[in-house]
Structure 1
């Protein structure tokens, strides 16, 4: 059954939650090493020298917005856990090259009392993913705050590894950004500056290494439909969006993958696709809870979003899926 929820219920906050922490909320999370493989600005599960060579078509799964606690305003996370467990069953059956979760892993932010309990449940559910399938986590605004600081980013890194990094998989260069500092850098301008310097180098390296594709992953969409659309809650401000898009176009980035919108959206900036994927957790539009399957060919990609009840039994890499 597909679940639909009105946008008017999005991110309702109740101060009383902050004063009702349980003992479990305050308990430090013991983090499995698979959740902190993003370290030293790379991802340990991938052998970068080997993975820089094209090895044939493959597919990966893009998830977003598990956001444990959003259905109930942080009072519980049973629905998010059930949906995530359903997603994990699909992941283990399909056996993708990797899985990437594009932000808002939890609904509580690191300074809220329910954060650790939600992190613990996220770890518990995703620990069931086949250990042969790399699980890549991306930070969102709930993971580091709408106005991230060095402290909030450090809290995220403790539980999920680096907030920005890159990795190669099958001849494709994958770059993960902290889009929250792009959205609002005022609490951590030094992080945005360091990320930008690092990004310039990674794009240059990808071009010099003749990557078959360059993919960018982040939480916030650069834009929803048009690259010059007005600023709003769901996109990156034009002030930083426009020069970054020019940089990505020049580097011939193939596609940007994001979440945050809790619906699907699609646009282009020149030849570069801007792909916004709906939530594993609570939907805010007509698209049900689900995830995206991305098939990577040597010169092209195909992708399609599936609701949890409509995911195919298997993926045939010779099939063409609808964009």
Structure 2
């Protein structure tokens, strides 16, 4: 065999047996990253086709404001790490259908020197959640800034996937919104416009598919107690709140879940519940660090907030018995 042909055969054989290497930006790598399952405006961990069907009562856990670094003014994250690790122990014992963290994963914003370290600590702690329990992350104002920009949103996307997306679970349709652009769209007006247009399509699709429930998750509460309450730091301005609340009511959205307030609050707009959940991290009121357990029944939901030291050993999926009121003939 000529020398040249022999060398060519050797090179060809070597090429066949060299394993493919995936970069961090390739689909295979992304698919294995539980923190970037939100892409193409859906959450890849759930199969949309099979999850459209009601398969019985289930529960999920809503967390908010892990906010690594808040307790020390960004000088360290040890205290938040300990609280989050305690929450993860509860999660693995309770085994919810999924866990959702409603924003402010870190205290540092993307341009802050401590941001990368806090993201790393968050991922280290929440990677301990059992692999078969999906973890859904929602962006908050600390994650993308009080005045988010395309650049700050891109940094979040690189770490945690899309900033708004939807997914089906057990017959319920779930919509995750970027509430920071609802709060202040001035740095990214195109993102707000695109999100509004996308939201209309999602609500129409949920209605057509006859979703048992529609839930919205975001960081900022639309309102704390009353849909027409005055503007303040912790709610969405009325100019954008009022039309959105009307739209959600019209589409029969069951509940909006939020954080940001660092304590619990509850409001109602007709049949729409506004549920604001206290923090895993630093509380700003009387509610201890903790999370909310939400039980989803076919025609209603139940939810209760628990401090981390008071979480039950298991979750009761049985509906609350309805008491029949006596009649005049009884």
Q: Deviations over 1:68-102 (max 9, x none)?
A: 00000000011100000000000000000000000
Q: Paired residue for 2:13? A: none
What is the match of residue 77 of structure 1?
Answer: 77
Give the structure, 1 or 2, with the largest relative contact order (CA under 8 Å, sep 6 or more). 1
TM-score w.r.t. the length of structure 2 is: 0.87
Once the two structures are superposed, residues 236-283 of structure 1 have per-residue CA deviations (whole angstroms, 9 ceiling, x without a partner) of 000000000000000000000000000000000110000000000000
| Structure 2 match to 1:303 | 303
When the two structures are superposed, what TM-score results if normalisation uses the length of structure 1?
0.89
On the 8 A contact 1:138/1:219 being kept in 2, the answer is yes
3-state secondary structure, aligned to 2:72? coil
Within 5 Å, give how 1:181-196 maps onto structure 2: 181-196=181-196
Distance in 2 (CA, whole Å) between partners of 1:49 and 1:193 is 28
Q: Give the drift of 1:140.
A: 0.1
CA offset digits 1:107-158 (Å, max 9, x no partner): 0000100000000000000000000000000000000000000000000000
Alpha-carbon distance in 2 for matches of 1:230, 1:74: 31
Alignment match, 1:107: 107
Residue 6 of structure 1 aligns with which residue?
A: none
Which 4+ residue blocks in structure 1 deviate beyond 6 angstroms? Answer: none
User: Who is 2:235 aligned against?
Assistant: 235
Native 8 Å contact 2:297 2:319 kept in 1: no
| Runs (5+) with no aligned partner, structure 2 | 1-23, 322-330
CA distance in 2, matches of 1:262, 1:315: 24
Cα deviations across residues 1-38 of structure 1 (Å, max 9, x unaligned)?
Answer: xxxxxxxxxxxxxxxxxxxxxxxxxxx9x986100000
Larger radius of gyration: 2
Q: Which residue of 1 aligns with 2:147?
A: 147
Secondary structure of 1:81's match?
A: helix
**Aligned residue in 2 for 1:59:** 59
**Cα distance in 2 for residues equivalent to 1:279 and 1:316:** 23
Q: Cα RMSD over matched residues?
A: 1.4
CA contact (8 A) 1:302 1:320 kept: no
Offset of residue 319 of structure 1: 5.2
